[in-house]
Structure formats: structure tokens, C-alpha cells
């Protein structure tokens, strides 16, 4: 009888622990950037880069989302040249809600070469980032 009770208690604890893990209670807080980045942009082209930010924070926290545009060859910022006028955006993590925003910018008519696009989301020490090189081409 004691053995049956011990086994029952052990199985109950295992099932409870597994249910907690499946429900996400024991998951570490995380951020995930979702963005469809262009494969190539034309000179003079204006875009609104749409960014979604998913998280699993159970409580509200304030974070920052940034877009940096960098000359691929020189590694210097081209944010001003590309009119990236909203490179920093703040957000609040609301449980079960995705944060969505846009970063508008324009490729200058006289820009030659590739540029690097870096998107970083950060809440305290937790972060996610995307880094991609975008080639430019002359407009038709």
C-alpha cells in the first residue's frame, strides 16, 4: 500500500511538472523579431519596413526596438542619408500581444553599393537581432 501511494505521488509530481513545462510557466523570457526584409532595393525607393516583435513576458516591461542602416563598405551610419528619422521605437510587452511597427526610409538616388540593415530588440538584458546586407540597383 505504501509503495502504491509513493508511486502515485511520484507520477502526480511528474505529470504536474510536465504540464507546467508545456504551459510555458518555466520558459525563460525571450524576444523574437519577425520581419520580411527586402532582397534588393532600387535607388530612390521609399519603403516602410514592417517589424513584428513577439515575446513571452508574463508582465509588462518597456523595451526598445532600433533600426540601424550602415554602409557595408565603410561600416559608417547612413541613417541620416536614408532619412531613417525614427530609428528608435519604444514598446511595452503586453501579455499575449504582438508589438507591430514600421520603420520608413528612402534609398538615396546617389547611393552606390550595399548597405547593412540591423534591427535590435532589447528588454533589459534580453535581446534579439537581425543583421542583413541589402544590395541596391539603379531604378528603371
Is the pLDDT at 9 greater than 50? The verdict is no
Residue 31 or 1, more confident? 31
For the domain bounded by 28-137, which CATH number is listed? 2.60.40.10
Smallest CA-to-CA distance from 123 within 51, 56, 36 is with 56
* Choice among 63-72, 74-83, 89-98 with the minimum mean pLDDT: 89-98
Residue 26 or 11, more confident? 26
Is the pLDDT at 34 greater than 50? The verdict is yes
- Which cell goes with 127? 535581446
Is 133 buried (19+), middle (13-18) or exposed (0-12) by CB count in 10 A? exposed
Q: What is the pTM of this model?
A: 0.78
Cα angle 78, 90, 43; round to 5: 25
Is the pLDDT at 134 greater than 70? The verdict is yes
43, 139 Cβ separation under 8 angstroms: yes
Residues 73 and 50: their CA atoms lie apart, in Å, by 26
Average confidence (pLDDT) over 113-119: 96
What's the pLDDT at 140?
A: 74
Q: Three-state DSSP class for 33?
A: strand
What's the pLDDT at 11?
A: 42
What's the pLDDT at 62?
A: 94
Residues 51 and 67: their CA atoms lie apart, in Å, by 10
Amino acid at each position: 500500500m505504501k509503495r502504491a501511494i509513493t508511486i502515485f505521488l511520484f507520477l502526480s509530481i511528474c505529470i504536474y511538472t510536465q504540464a507546467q513545462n508545456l504551459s510555458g510557466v518555466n520558459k525563460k523570457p525571450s524576444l523574437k523579431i519577425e520581419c520580411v526584409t527586402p532582397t534588393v532595393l532600387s535607388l530612390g525607393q521609399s519603403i516602410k519596413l514592417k517589424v513584428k516583435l513577439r515575446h513571452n513576458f508574463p508582465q509588462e516591461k518597456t523595451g526598445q526596438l532600433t533600426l540601424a542602416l550602415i554602409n557595408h563598405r565603410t561600416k559608417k551610419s547612413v541613417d541620416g542619408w536614408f532619412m531613417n528619422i525614427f530609428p528608435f521605437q519604444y514598446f511595452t510587452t503586453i501579455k499575449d500581444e504582438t508589438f507591430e511597427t514600421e520603420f520608413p526610409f528612402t534609398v538615396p538616388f546617389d547611393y552606390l553599393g550595399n548597405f547593412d540593415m540591423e534591427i535590435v530588440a532589447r528588454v533589459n538584458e534580453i535581446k534579439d537581432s537581425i543583421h542583413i546586407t541589402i544590395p541596391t540597383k539603379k531604378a528603371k
